[in-house]
Amino acid sequence: MGEELAHRCRARASLLCACKLAEARQGKNVQSQYDVVILGGGCSGLSLAVRLAELGPRCPSTLIVEQRTAYTNDRTWCFWDDGATRHLPLIQHRWPTMTVQNNVGQTTINCGDTPYQLIPAEAFYQDAVDRLTVCPSTTLQLGVQLTREPTKAGRHWQIETTAGSCLTTTVIDTRPSGPPTQGAATLWQSFSGQEVECDEPVFDPATINLMDFSTADPSRILFTYVLPLSTHRALIEVTQFGPEPLTGPALAKDLAIAISRRVHGSSYTTLRAEDGILPMGLQTVRKPAEPNYIKAGLTAGAARPCTGYAFQRIQRWADSCAKSLAEGRGAIGHPADPLLLRAMDHLFLSVLRAHPEKAPDIFLSLFANTQSDRMIRFLSGRGRLTDYCNVIAALPILPFLQQVPKALWWQESWR
């Protein structure tokens, strides 16, 4: 699929270059001009571009600059159903039950009303490319890099890329702000996983294992996450929350142990692998440098600090940003979370950072003692005040009270 997508996007990019060449031969100014340039065609960039394409004749002329030469099935997006119907056809799995466990207990959470659901990245990318290809106002360029940072030229931004230069009035920059570094986030969520196909039916396809701390080492917050895709197939991941970001190879041994425990002796084939590093509580969320230069995506406020989940927040942002552009109010970034939520996330992450050995009990207690609908609304960033109160009441009070004075030190990230 990746090759086919890449071919279609390259074809479009070549067509663009051919037109510019023809114009140059006729002595015309070859500088293209767009209303909007989106830097980075990943989840945020494509989500916004698709919303703009849906405006039909009102769609601003939009260029999406993406450095990858092809899209691959590089990740799976999971989130709890919030009633939005936009991605229904792309959803490949839904689970009504999940478990959280440590080495002293287990809790089962019924989320049948808001199932946990999965969209494979390849389905998302394919859908977006299809929609952008038929829209006359959007151009997706793959395999294109910026040759220098955008510069201001009067009321325009000058964009220089390996495919040429162009002018735009609005830049939406979804590129990551830089590589993950220790100190840039309260914690980093580093994970590594493999989708495996077993010879024996060893998985329960109705239940995901959201967090399994049963092999926990008290010095690290490490758990296994299992998404059963059938009785024979599952995505098995190990995740570490810690101050230091870890790449996939650093988690390889933990992953091998987790897979061997989960396949119960069955022989298996690895179908694909995925890994990532997500910020949990960025110390400085990037603010827009200019009203018409907006930063968005994972390192600009898309990731929910206490979970690293970003997919639904990106979708909500893409809706609002496209609406704002369509109404002539300009582009907007990710909205700040309510103060109470930011304070709770910050305190929660501070406790985890200070007491990694308490994490298995904290998570088990949280899931066992909070009503599932309240917990899911809270985790999905749609919580109400009563949900916050329910979550607070489910947590062990002492480590949180002890951490309050230290957490107040980091007020910077509350603003």
Ligand X SMILES: Cc1cc2nc3c(=O)[nH]c(=O)nc-3n(C[C@H](O)[C@H](O)[C@H](O)COP(=O)(O)OP(=O)(O)OC[C@H]3O[C@@H](n4cnc5c(N)ncnc54)[C@H](O)[C@@H]3O)c2cc1C
**Between 40 and 383, whose beta carbon lies closer to ligand X?**
40
Do 395 and 365 meet the contact criterion of CB atoms below 8 Å apart? yes
- Binding range to ligand X, per CB under 6 A, among 109-117, 218-226, 274-282, 343-351: 274-282
Q: Please tell me the distance from the alpha carbon of residue 165 to that of residue 154, in angstroms, as a whole number.
A: 16
Figure out which of the listed residues 6, 13, 37, 66 binds ligand X, where binding follows CB under 6 A: 66
The residue within the footprint of ligand X, chosen from 78, 142, 332, 376 (CB under 6 A), is 78
Least distance from C-beta 405 to ligand X, angstroms?
Answer: 32
8 A C-beta contact, residue 157 and residue 292: yes
Q: Using the rule CB under 6 A, is 41 a contact of ligand X?
A: yes
297 binding ligand X? (CB under 6 A):
yes
By beta-carbon distance, which residue lies closest to ligand X?
42
Q: Name the minimum Å distance from CB 74 to ligand X.
A: 6
Q: Using CA atoms, how far apart are residues 42 and 137, in angstroms rounded to an integer? A: 19
φ, ψ of residue 309 to 5 degrees: the values are -65, 135
175 lies in the binding site for ligand X (CB under 6 A): yes
| Contact criterion met (CB below 8 Å) for 204 and 228 | yes
Cβ burial of 308 (10 Å; 0-12, 13-18, 19+) is: buried
Among 81, 122, 212, 274, binds ligand X (CB under 6 A): 274
Exposure of 410 by Cβ count < 10 A (0-12 exposed, 13-18 middle, 19+ buried)?
middle
Q: Least distance to ligand X from the beta carbon of 219, Å?
A: 25
User: Residue 84 or residue 404: which is nearer to ligand X going by CB?
Assistant: 84
* DSSP element (H, E) containing 11: helix 2-25
Return the SS3 of 214. Answer: coil
List 191's β-bridge partners, or say none: 239, 276
79 binds ligand X (CB under 6 A): yes
Q: Regarding beta strands 207-212 and 97-101, do their DSSP bridges make them parallel or antiparallel, or are they unpaired?
A: parallel
In whole angstroms, the minimum distance from the beta carbon of 72 to ligand X comes to 11
Which residues, in sequence order, are CB contacts of 23 under 8 Å at separation 6+?
Answer: 29, 30
Instruction: Please tell me the distance from the alpha carbon of residue 1 to that of residue 73, in angstroms, as a whole number.
Output: 9
263 binds ligand X (CB under 6 A): no
Give the binding range for ligand X (CB under 6 A) out of 83-91, 216-224, 308-316, 359-367: 308-316
Judged by CB under 6 A, which of 6, 36, 59, 65 binds ligand X? Answer: 65
Closer residue to ligand X (CB): 127 or 361: 127
Binding ligand X by CB under 6 A: which of 67, 97, 169, 320? 67
- Which segment (165-173, 302-310, 340-348, 401-409) binds ligand X by CB under 6 A? 302-310
Site of interaction with ligand X (CB under 6 A): 39-45, 65-68, 75-79, 145-146, 174-175, 274, 276, 278, 297-298, 302, 309-311, 314
